[in-house]
Chain A
Amino acid sequence: MARIWPTKLDRDRLRRRFVALLLDWMSWGYVAYGVMYFLNDYWWRIPLERFYTTLTLPPWGWPAAVLGTLAMAVICQVSGYSLGERALKLEIREERPLTKEELLMGRAAGKPFWKTQWGVMAVFLLALTVALGWHIVKIDPEALIHPSPRAREMLSEIFPPDFRHFRVPDPAFELRGLPYSILDLMVLTIFMALLATVLGAAVALPLSFLGARNIMGFSPAGWLVYGIVRGFFNIFRSIETMLWAVVFALWIRWGSPLAGIMALTIHTIAALGKLYSEQVEGIDPGPVEAVVAAGGNRIEVVRYAVLPQVIPSFWAFTLYRWDINVRMSTVIALVGGGGIGDMLFYYKNEGKWALLGAVVITIVAVVWAMDYLSGRLRERIT
Chain B
Amino acid sequence: MAEPYLVVEHLTKVYERGHVVALKDVSFEVQKGEFLVIIGLSGSGKSTLLRCINRLIEPTKGRIFIDGVEITKLSPRQMRKFRRKIGMIFQHFNLIKRATVMTNVLTGRLGYNPTWMTLLGIFPRSDRELALKNLERVGLLEKAYVRADELSGGQQQRVGIARALMQEPELLLADEPVSALDPATSHSVMQYIEQMNREDGVTVLASLHFLSLARRYGTRIIALKDGELVFDGAPEEIDDRKFKEIYGEEAEEVEIR
Contact = CB atoms under 8 A, between A and B. Distances in A.
A211 B93 CA distance: 28
Interface in A299-348: 299-300, 303-305, 308-309, 311-312
A290 B84 contact: no
- Considering residues A293, A296, A304, A311, which has the most beta carbons from chain B within 10 angstroms of its beta carbon? A293
A333 to B, nearest CB: 42
Contacts of A309: 96-98
7 contacts: A286-B90, A286-B92, A290-B90, A292-B83, A295-B167, A299-B115, A299-B119
Contact of A300 (B87, B94, B110): B110
Interface residues of A, number: 20
Contacts of B40: none
A297 interface: yes
Contact of A290 (B80, B94, B111, B112): B94
A296 B103 CA distance: 14
Contact of B167 (A294, A300, A308): A294
B110 A291 contact: yes
Nearest to A306: B96
Contacts of B115: 297, 299-300
Contact of A308 (B83, B98, B173): B98
Interface string B52-90: 001010000000000000000000000011111011101
Interface in B84-122: 84, 86-88, 90, 92-99, 103, 107-112, 115, 118-119
B13 interface: no
Chain A to chain B: the 3 pairs with minimum beta-carbon distance, closest first: A295-B111, A286-B94, A290-B94
Contacts, number: 82
A308 B80 CA distance: 22
Contact of A293 (B83, B93, B109, B119): B83
Interface in A179-230: none
B56 A287 contact: no
A7 B236 CA distance: 56
Contacts of B98: 308-309, 311-312
Contacts of B112: 295
A304 B56 contact: no
A91 interface: no
B96 A304 contact: yes
Nearest to B92: A286
Contacts of A291: 107, 110
Nearest to B118: A300
Contacts of A294: 83-84, 87-88, 107-111, 163, 166-167
Contact of B96 (A287, A297, A312): A287
Given A287-B95, A300-B119, A293 B86 contact: yes
Interface residues of B, number: 34
A192 to B, nearest CB: 33
A102 interface: no
A299 B88 CA distance: 20
Given A287-B97, A293-B83, A295-B110, 4 more contacts: A294-B110, A297-B80, A297-B115, A308-B97
Contact of A295 (B80, B93, B173): B80
A308 B107 CA distance: 13
A296 B88 CA distance: 13
Nearest to B103: A304
Given A289-B56, A290-B107, A308 B99 contact: yes
A292 B84 contact: no
Interface string B149-173: 0000000000010010011000001
A297 to B, nearest CB: 6
Nearest to B119: A303
A305 B83 contact: no
Contacts of B80: 295-297
Contact of B81 (A295, A300, A305): A295
Contacts of B163: 290, 294
A286 B103 CA distance: 16
Contact of A305 (B86, B96, B166): B96
Nearest to B54: A293
B94 A295 contact: no
A305 B96 CA distance: 6
A286 B91 CA distance: 10
- Considering residues A291, A295, A304, which has the most beta carbons from chain B within 10 angstroms of its beta carbon? A295
Contact of B88 (A290, A303, A311): A290
A290 B95 contact: yes
A297 B84 CA distance: 12
A336 to B, nearest CB: 42
